[in-house]
Structures are given as structure tokens and as C-alpha cells.
Structure 1
Amino acid sequence: MSKDLFDLSGRVALITGGAGLLGPEMASALVEKGAKVILADLSLEKCQETIDKLGISSEIIRPIRLDVASSTSWKEALTHGIEHFGKIDILVNGAASTNQSKTANFEAGFENFPEEDWDRIMDINLKGTFLGCQIIGQHMVQNGGGSIINIGSLYGVVSPNHRIYPGTGIFQPVAYGVSKHAVISLTKYLATLWADKHVRVNALSPGGVWNGHEGLFYERYKQLNPSGDMANKSDMNGGIVFLASDASKHVVGHNLIIDGGYSVW
């Protein structure tokens, strides 16, 4: 029988943004293929609540508090991973400031967008990804390899369509799209730096993911997408497993776009 290219048995994954929209789904997908998982978020309590809902044994998945904008916090996460599981083979940089975790002035228009909100979004979305890659990536280099998956965004590939947001109560601030473009650039930089050290760095960019959306925004978005709908949370799972596993062992510096075709039109 041929080897299961998607088998993750014996591997350890660290997922940031673990209590967010996609983190729990990604954790379940990796565990299902045999990985152990460190689920990280700014709130340890929310991480534990997420794990309780998933119903996965504490021997397989552990919660930690992680402030992605802090190098000290990242070093503590690495130490935790080594102490409990011996290593970290897979890093999913999923933490982000989004419509689900807004800064104070997330909804401000470009002309009035405050510096402090720009800085905070950049700290979480870009600096947090940079620090994670730097600290966990160095561990992977020293350990002989690994897979880093940076979560980008459809809006790291194309601009938001500004016409679909008025009157919907949903906003896409300038700092979000700029930060996600930068995450994809960082991914390519590190991919070429570490490929010969067996550390693969790729990105996964989701399109709009349904999170109870309804009304005007939902109808407009569906009209703009060839698939005719938003993604389900679980639609990212195959991509995460693919990029984490040996199925993608020769995939380097790729941005896997899962958007139902939105960016093709």
C-alpha cells in the first residue's frame, strides 16, 4: 500500500488565532490526520473553551496564551511546545485583526484612519507573523525542517470592492489589506531563504468566509463570486492539511487561494 501523503502522525503544530473563526477547524483537521496541536490565542480561557467544544484529549491538543506581537511571548510558546511535545513541525500563523476582532477605530475610513489603529493592525497581522516565522522558523531550521503556513487573505491578492460595503455594517480598513499583501511578500522571502534547509514556507489566502452573514453584504458578495456563495469554515481544511503534509513537499513560496473563484474575475 502506498504511503499516505497527508499523514501527520508524529508531527506537532502550533496554530495562532486558535480561538478565532478558522483556528478550531484547522486544529481539528490537523488532529484528524495524526498531528498534535498547540492552540494559541491572546485569551487562554477562550482557547480552553474551544478545546472543550472540540472534545479532543489534552494529550493531543493544548491551549496556550500567546501575544503574537511580543517576541517574549513567542519564545515562551516555543519553550512550551518543546517541553510538552518535544518540537514544533508546523506553524499556522492565523492570528489577525479582522471584523471579528476589531481595533477601536477599525471602521474609520481611509481619510480619518488613526495611526494607532494602523500600528495595532500591523502589529498583529504583520509583525506577529514575522515574529512567529523568525522564532519558530529558526527552531525548524535547527531541527531539520518544517512547514510554515501564513494565513493571508483574498484582500492580500486583490483590493476590496469598495462598492459592496456601504450600508452593510461591515468594513475593510486600509491597514488590513496592506498587512495581508505584506504577509504574502514575507512568505515568498522566507520560502527562498529556507527551502534548502527543508523548511517550507507557504501562504493560504481565504476568500470571504461565512460567519452568519446575511442581508445586503451577503447578497452583493454572492453576486461577485463565480461560485455564487461565501466559503464555509471547513473549506480551508484541505488546504491546511495539504500545505502541512508531505503531499506538498515540493511546494515552496506558494499562495494557495481558496476563494470560490472571486479573484479570477
Structure 2
Amino acid sequence: MNKLLLDKKILVAGAGGLLGSKIVKFALEQGAQVIAADINVDLMYEKLSLQDIDLKKTNILLHELDVTNEQSVKHFFANQTNLSGAVNSTYPRNKTYGSHFFDVSLDSFNENLALHLGSAFLFTQQCAAYFKDKQKPFSLVNISSIYGVIAPKFYIYDNTPMTMPVEYAAIKSAILHLNKYAVSYVNDSRFRVNSVSPGGIFDKQPKAFLEAYKKSTHGEGMLDVEAIIGSILFLLSEQSKFVTGQNIIVDDGFSL
């Protein structure tokens, strides 16, 4: 069976993160040449090394990239050739991110929107500009969330210090429409933008939260990060050649 991403060159932004590092691993396994980019190259190197990736291979290149910096992003794309697609798995946020609703200041809210949604806009814009310049098929996958689709189930946070940040809901829902705007504006079948919206991803959350969350799924509960990867690879591949402006929810029924 042919590998999904054979002969494709894929940019993974946020490659030092929980999701991004796994995307790099599986994209390489599916035959892609990967540019792994992150604001912290040293940390990214450590995270990718933990994935048993041979970083000395010629089919992976590590690159510093600050997606919140317009000059950095534009300079990066100006120096690229033969990109087939990209995944933006970055998660920029400020130090007060994650506060409860009534504790969020307007300044903090605006700063987080500027960091995360603003960088999603910039990254999407520059992917589109790259396509317009090169005129070769390009598939962008942005990462949204179930909480970009449905209202939070706040009861699952009872008996924990956690909450579902209001900024997160605003940003992730906006990304879904940003995708549609971008592909509608470019209006070319060769340029595609889609999203994957994961449910909860296991990352050593409190036991009370894990148990409450599981009751709202069909039995799996919080998902291992690898459960999200297949949908991303599909959207990057020729298997989804005419899928555009869409959102794939991977949540074991949590949003039903």
C-alpha cells in the first residue's frame, strides 16, 4: 500500500508540542519530507528525539519559527520551495491564560486572541500567499477543538482547579470560519484549508476530571494524542483532494 504523503513536503508548526511532535513522527512514516518548526528549537529537538525520530536524516529539517511575529513568518515562507502542505499545531498564550471567566481581564483576553487567533490568521494568510506565488497544490490543516463547535460542559471541571478558558472557545470557533473565509477568498481547488477538532487529549489531568469526562464519551474518555493523527494525515493527502473548508471532529461522541 502506498504511503499517504509520499513525495510531499510538509511544514509542521508547533513541532515541539504534544500534538506537533506526533504529527512529525507519523508524517515521516507516511513518506513525507518534513520541516519541523517551533519557537524553541532546543525543546523541539528534545521532544522529537523522544519520538525515536532520527534527526540526522535528510527528510527532516528543524527550523526556528515564531508564528506570532509577522516578519518571522513572512521571511520563512519567502525562503521555502516545493511545500505541499502545512499543519499549524501552535498554541501561543500569555501567563494569565486559563483563568476563570470572571477573573479574565479585557487586556488578557485581547492579548490571547491576538497571540493565538492572530497567529492563525497570519499563518493561514501566508500559506495562501505562498500558494498564489507558487501555483502548486497546497493543503493547510488548522487545529480547532470540540469547544470551537459546542458549548463547554462545565460540570466535568467540578472538584478540580481547571476550567474551560473563554479565550479558547472564542479562538477555536473563529478558526473554523477563518478556514472558510480563506478558501472562499482564494477560490482555487488546488488550495485547501481544513480543521481537525480533537476532543480531550490525555495529558495527566486530575482523576476527577478524567472520570467526569469519560462519562460524556462513548467509553474511551480522554484520547491518546495518536488518535488525532489519522485525520490530519488524511487532510494533507491526495485522499482528501476536494475536501476544503471542513472540520473533522475526533472525540468519541463527546460533542453529541
TM-score using structure 1 length: 0.89
Which residue in 1 is equivalent to 2:95?
104
Of 102, 123, 127 in structure 2, the residue corresponding to residue 136 of structure 1 is: 127
Of 237, 243, 251 in structure 2, the residue corresponding to residue 251 of structure 1 is: 243
Q: Deviations over 1:99-131 (max 9, x none)?
A: xxx632223222231233213321232111111
1:21 and 2:13 equivalent? no
Contact 1:47 1:64 in 2 (8 A): no
Q: Deviations over 1:42-99 (max 9, x none)?
A: 211111212322323441222222221111111232245x2xxx332211111114xx
**Residues 128-137 or 54-63, more deviating:** 54-63
Query: How many residue pairs were aligned?
Result: 253
Code of the residue aligned with 1:68 in structure 2: it is: V
Contact 1:207 1:230 in 2 (8 A): yes
Which residue in 2 is equivalent to 1:203?
195
1:7 and 2:4 equivalent? yes
SS in 2 for 1:224: coil
Contact 1:11 1:35 in 2 (8 A): yes
**Residues 176-185 or 48-57, more deviating:** 48-57
- Structure 1 Cα separation of the partners of residues 159 and 91 of structure 2: 24
Which residue in 2 is equivalent to 1:63?
62
Which residue in 2 is equivalent to 1:231?
223
Match runs of 1:130-209 below 5 Å: 130-143=121-134, 144-209=136-201
- Structure 1 Cα separation of the partners of residues 188 and 74 of structure 2: 24
Which residue in 2 is equivalent to 1:119?
110
Code of the residue aligned with 1:140 in structure 2: it is: F
Aligned-pair CA distance for 1:263: 0.8
- Structure 1 Cα separation of the partners of residues 54 and 232 of structure 2: 19
- Structure 1 Cα separation of the partners of residues 159 and 65 of structure 2: 35
SS in 2 for 1:227: coil
Contact 2:128 2:182 in 1 (8 A): no
Contact 1:227 1:261 in 2 (8 A): no
Structure 1 residue runs of 4 or more that deviate by more than 3 Å after TM superposition: none
1:90 and 2:88 equivalent? no
Code of the residue aligned with 2:65 in structure 1: it is: L
Superposed CA RMSD in Å reads: 1.8
**Once the two structures are aligned, what percentage of the paired residues are identical?**
29
Unaligned runs of 5+ in 1: none
Change over 3 Å in CA distance of 1:107–1:148 after alignment to 2: closer
- Structure 1 Cα separation of the partners of residues 60 and 78 of structure 2: 16
Change over 3 Å in CA distance of 1:7–1:107 after alignment to 2: closer
Change over 3 Å in CA distance of 1:167–1:38 after alignment to 2: same
Which residue in 2 is equivalent to 1:78?
77
- Structure 2 Cα separation of the partners of residues 211 and 60 of structure 1: 29
Aligned-pair CA distance for 1:197: 4.7
Contact 1:41 1:47 in 2 (8 A): yes
Aligned-pair CA distance for 1:195: 4.6
Change over 3 Å in CA distance of 1:27–1:182 after alignment to 2: same
- Structure 1 Cα separation of the partners of residues 219 and 115 of structure 2: 31
